[in-house]
Amino acid sequence: MQVLILGSAAGGGFPQWNSDAPGCRRARAGDPAALPRTQAGLAISADGNQWILLNASPDLREQLNRTPKLHPRDGMRSSPIAAVVLSGGDVDAIAGLLTLRERHAFTLLATPRVHGFLDANPIFDVLGRDIVARQALEPNAPATAYGCTLELFAVPGKVPLFLEEAGTMPTIQVDETTVGVLVSDGRHRLFYIPGCAAMTNELASRLNGADMVFFDGTLWRDDEMVAAKLGSKTGRRMGHMSLSGPDGTLAAFQSITVRRKIIIHMNNSNPVLLADSPERAEAEAAGWIIAEDGMEFSL
């Protein structure tokens, strides 16, 4: 199984277009310790010919153009993209679908509820239903596609921001709104979980023994955006567990055996983005790889 990191940052990318935070300034200045990143997504293939995208970020066009393995190669109009799998309905997971509107046949896989989000917004009908098949995957029901077995499973999360009701506090829930993705080629197991609000016993058991896990790295500290005056929301409010702290990702994975652990979906405020930060050193000492755009792996 071949794995390409198309993008590794959270919504807004790094540097974020309207952020003047220190890390963003360093990235704009070309500091090699602050590498720019586009919004998160992966491409996976069992044979090197047909590729499955995990999420379609707003940066998808740029990501495809800079990735030779995903360039057209069979005629004047073609693409090796065979399918797109969605882990949720947030803008940074679905907006790139609009980039794929030029009459290329592929399969769009998501839970019934996420398909409902798309069906309710007619702009996504630019993906002609006569050529783009919309396939609903129920959680915990594996499906075979393009040499891989795909399975979606619920993780703690919340509804997309654009579906929150004004004046209400969204609750963290475990349902098909936010899911992780398991991809297997029969020998190896890879998990993609770019959004997760908490580690549960069930999730820890599922991940144990995996060959590769890409996991939500949105924030280092729950209150880091508030403390830096970059926003008013904590990580918990946004549906993301933090990397640090007793309830954080680094602590949670101390009892989970994974061959390769990769932090992805990092917010522009997260100091782990900076190669010379103590937070980066702490994460790497705990055995984590910090995702960068363009990284490639083989399983």
Range 61-83 average pLDDT:
95
- Digit-coded pLDDT (tens) for 120-156: 999 999 999 999 999 999 999 999 999 999 999 999 8
- Digit-coded pLDDT (tens) for 224-283: 866 666 666 765 766 679 999 999 999 999 999 999 999 999 999 999 999 999 999 999
Provide the domain limits for residue 241: 2-298
Number of domains in the chain: 1
Averaged confidence pLDDT in the chain: 92
Residue 12 has pLDDT above 70, yes or no: yes
Residues with Cβ within 8 Å of 170's Cβ and at least 6 positions away in sequence, in order, are: 158, 159, 164, 239
CATH code where residue 44 lies: 3.60.15.10
- Digit-coded pLDDT (tens) for 154-210: 998 775 656 655 556 667 787 888 999 999 999 999 999 999 999 999 999 999 999
End-to-end CA distance of the chain: 5
Question: What pLDDT score was predicted for residue 11?
Answer: 93
- Digit-coded pLDDT (tens) for 88-117: 999 999 999 999 999 999 999 999 999 999
Question: What pLDDT score was predicted for residue 28?
Answer: 98
